[in-house]
Amino acid sequence: MPGGDSILDWLKQRHPGSHGNADYSAHFFRRCDHLLGDHGTIGLLATNTIAQGDTRATGLQALVASGTKIYAATRSMPWPGDAAVAVSVVHLEKGRCHSQRLTLDGVDVPEINSRLRAGSERPDPVKLKANEDKSFQGTTILGMGFTLTPDERDRLVAKNPKNAERIFPYLGGDEINSSPTQSFERYVINFGDLSLEEAGRWPDLLQLVREKVKPERDKNNRETYRTYWWHFGEKRPALAAAVAPLSRCLVASRHTKHLCFVFQPVQRVFSEATNVFAFSQGGHFASFSLASTKPGPVCCPPR
């Protein structure tokens, strides 16, 4: 078995149809299924992302498609150790096992699908062409040294009002879900695509980034991150282009059980913990919500 950067390529080769974005737990599930041989049962515990997104497609969806059966599952429970994380417990069988009961969260059900829901397996939703280039993951700044407290921001602007040109509000998933007004306590220094020479027009800010971000970037394996240490790690240019004509956009946390969509001004930096939607009108939001195949709990504070 290889190590380092080649392990992902090896896993994808070993498990055809797998996604590079899947959690490693999906590959453990497939390996354990292989080790069962033609007949057997197994119970595994994983974070509840095992039934979501690319991890589901790589793991449980592939196993169910191959004939493996989920005969019992607990969709979400606290990790039995100290970590504050929710996990799923999944029991699988293959071959001549013939479980008499199928249970989901302790309740008898006729069938359990790869989403850990009662019911038969169903096709994945098809992407809507009309919504292409309308949703994005937020910016990965890759360096908390870019961030400032309100007091730090105020001191820098008082020292040189020009510094305000490169300091923006910084909004993450916590701010969206924990405050009805999405109040924030963080700002972020943003040089965009400026060259190092151009960024030098804000010497106070550049010096902070040089002191707080560059030492960590110098250790990064990716050459681009080391070379352009004053840039965000993933600037999301497509996101910036999509929201540029708008005065506001829809934002939701990426890490939440209950979705909360809020309108936010576009003149801020949205963290990688958010999903950003290039919609500015209430009618767009209604259309977006109706496109969902199975709406879940949604909180929509008035704006």
What is the secondary structure of the chain as a DSSP string? Answer: ---GGGHHHHHHHHSTT--TTS-HHHHHHHHHHHHTTTSEEEEEEEEGGGGSHHHHHHTHHHHHHTT-EEEEEEEEEE-SSSS--EEEEEEEEESTT--S--EETTEE-S-B-TTS-BS---PPPPPPGGGTTSEEE-BB---GGGEE-HHHHHHHHHH-GGGGGGEEEEE-HHHHHH-TT-----EEE--TT--HHHHTTSHHHHHHHHHHTHHHHTT-S-HHHHHTTTS-SB--HHHHHHHTT-SEEEEEESS-SSEE-EEEESSSEEBTTEEEE---SHHHHHHHHHT-SS---EE----
What's residue 292's pLDDT? 45
This prediction's pTM: 0.64
CA angle 126, 253, 277 (to 5 degrees): 55
For the chain, the residue count is 303
What's residue 118's pLDDT? 95
Please list the ranges in the chain whose pLDDT falls under 50.
292-293
What's residue 112's pLDDT? 95
What's residue 99's pLDDT? 66
What's residue 293's pLDDT? 40
Cβ contact 112:70 at 8 Å: yes
Cβ contact 302:180 at 8 Å: no
- Provide the 10 A C-beta neighbour count for residue 255: 10
What's residue 96's pLDDT? 79
What's residue 153's pLDDT? 97
What's residue 259's pLDDT? 77
Please report where in the chains the tokens 């003149």 appear, as a residue. 267
Between the CA of residue 280 and those of 7, 131, 148, 175, 288, what are the distances in Å?
42, 14, 28, 20, 12
What's residue 271's pLDDT? 95
